[in-house]
Amino acid sequence: MTAITLDRPAPVARRVSPAGWFRHTMTLAWRSLVQIRHNPMELMDLSVQPIMFLLLFTYVFGGAIAGSTGDYLQFALPGLIAQNMLFATLSTGVGLNSDITKGVFDRLRSLPIARSAPLTGRIVADTLKQVWAFGLFLGLGLVLGFRVHTGVAGVLGALALLLTFALAMSWISVLIGVIASEPEKVQIFAFSILMPITFTSNAFVETSTMPTWLQKWVDVNPVSHIADAVRGLLTGGPVAGHATISLIWALALAVVFAPLAVRAFKNRV
């Protein structure tokens, strides 16, 4: 009798080239974006919230704070855009936690792809969704009377700065999304962090109207600097100093929270 030996299939390599990692990341980012076509509700947080906040702050608080809704809109819209950008990063943590708890990542692990691609793909997709929110916010603001005084270059500069800061903030959302046991807890934890930071900034009111002890925090609050930088880029005014501080904050957040988020992701997934 002759024994027949079957060749075993070669094990799937877990390490991929940088080009492969980029391709896998873009594929999974596209997967997240395509889901919007089948489930438009995924854009509700990035659509309804900007409209609601802009209308409420302009027409409910604008007259009392600035004397007229037009003047307040010109001041507050950049701050509202910055606030919405921060809150939109919640979707990264919520979506990531949902994929983990529903077993999506277990299925992706069986594929011959880079292990980090599902994580980076989610971050890239959610960062690109911010472009939609920015365009919606700015478009509605223009309809209501907001005016851009810096042209297309200023708008593109503001968008680039916001996306950079949002990408850095996403690592905090990723960390919360990985360690939380369910999506609802991600929202609770994240709101507990974002609400105090955004409302104790100069995004909505002038720093001079606040108590002296609070002004010291407002002056170092990263949200204040990103709001002032966006104001300068859209309506004119100082930009370089606030933009530089915002980028330093973004770098510091990424350096601190990205390794923590990746470690937590590897331990859970």
pLDDT value at 27 more than 60:
yes
pLDDT value at 45 more than 70:
no
- Its pTM stands at 0.85
Contact 24, 114 (CB under 8 A): yes
Distance CA 178, CA 192 (A): 17
**Local confidence band at 91 (pLDDT 50, 70, 90 cut-offs):** confident
Neighbour count for residue 183 (Cβ, 10 Å)? 20
Contact 111, 31 (CB under 8 A): no
Residue 143 is predicted with a pLDDT of: 92
Contact 133, 89 (CB under 8 A): no
Residue 190 is predicted with a pLDDT of: 77
Neighbour count for residue 223 (Cβ, 10 Å)? 24
pLDDT winner (highest mean) among 88-97, 112-121, 145-154, 188-197 = 145-154
pLDDT, tens digit, 9 for 90 and up, residues 233-248: 999 888 999 999 999 9
pLDDT value at 106 more than 60:
yes
**What percentage of the chain has pLDDT greater than the value 90?**
34
pLDDT, tens digit, 9 for 90 and up, residues 125-177: 888 888 888 998 899 999 999 999 999 999 999 999 999 999 999 899 889 88
Neighbour count for residue 167 (Cβ, 10 Å)? 20
Domain ranges of the chain: 55-268
- The separation between CA 237 and the C-alpha centre of its own chain, rounded to angstroms, equals 25
What are the structure tokens assigned to 146, written together? 């907001």
